[in-house]
C-alpha cells in the first residue's frame, strides 16, 4: 500500500494532502516520496493511520524538508509520534512558516 494524495481541487490557498499508509517503512518509502513530490511544495501529511514508522519512512519526510517542501503533519497517530520521538525528531520540525503558521 502506498500513500494516497487527495485529488480534489481545494482552491488556490490550500495545500495538497498525502495520506500515509499504515506502515511507513523501507518497502513503502519510495511510494510515499513520489506522492509527496507530486503533491507540490506545500503538503499536509495525514499521519492518522500510521501504525509503524521506521527510520526509512521518517527519512522520506525529512528529505522532503531538505528539498524545500513545507510539510504539515496532520492528525499524527500515537505510533507516528512515538517513533518520531524515539528517532529524535519533534513535530516542530514540520511546522510550516508564513501564511500557515
Predicted TM-score (pTM) of the model is: 0.79
Could you give the count of Cα atoms lying within 13 Å of 32 in the half-sphere of its Cβ? 28
pLDDT of residue 98: 38
CATH code of the domain occupying 17-96 = 3.30.750.24
Residue 41 pLDDT exceeds 70: yes
Question: Which grid coordinates belong to 44?
Answer: 499536509
pLDDT score recorded for residue 72: 94
Query: Which pairs count as long-range contacts for 8-14, CB under 8 Å and 24+ apart, including other chains?
Result: 13/99
What residue spans define the domains of the chain?
Answer: 17-96
Who's near 11: CB < 8 A, 6+ residues apart? none
pLDDT tens digits for 43-101?
A: 999 999 999 999 999 999 999 999 999 999 999 999 999 999 999 999 988 865 433 33
Amino acid at each position: 500500500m502506498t500513500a494516497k494524495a487527495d485529488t480534489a481541487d481545494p482552491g488556490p490557498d490550500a495545500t495538497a494532502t498525502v495520506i500515509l499508509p499504515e506502515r511507513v517503512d523501507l518497502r513503502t518509502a519510495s511510494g510515499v516520496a513520489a506522492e509527496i513530490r507530486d503533491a507540490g511544495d506545500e503538503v499536509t501529511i495525514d499521519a492518522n493511520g500510521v501504525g509503524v514508522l521506521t527510520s526509512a519512512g521518517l527519512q522520506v519526510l525529512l528529505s522532503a524538508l531538505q528539498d524545500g517542501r513545507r510539510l504539515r503533519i496532520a492528525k499524527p497517530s500515537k505510533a507516528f509520534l512515538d517513533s518520531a520521538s524515539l528517532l529524535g525528531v519533534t513535530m516542530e520540525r514540520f511546522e510550516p512558516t508564513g501564511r500557515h503558521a
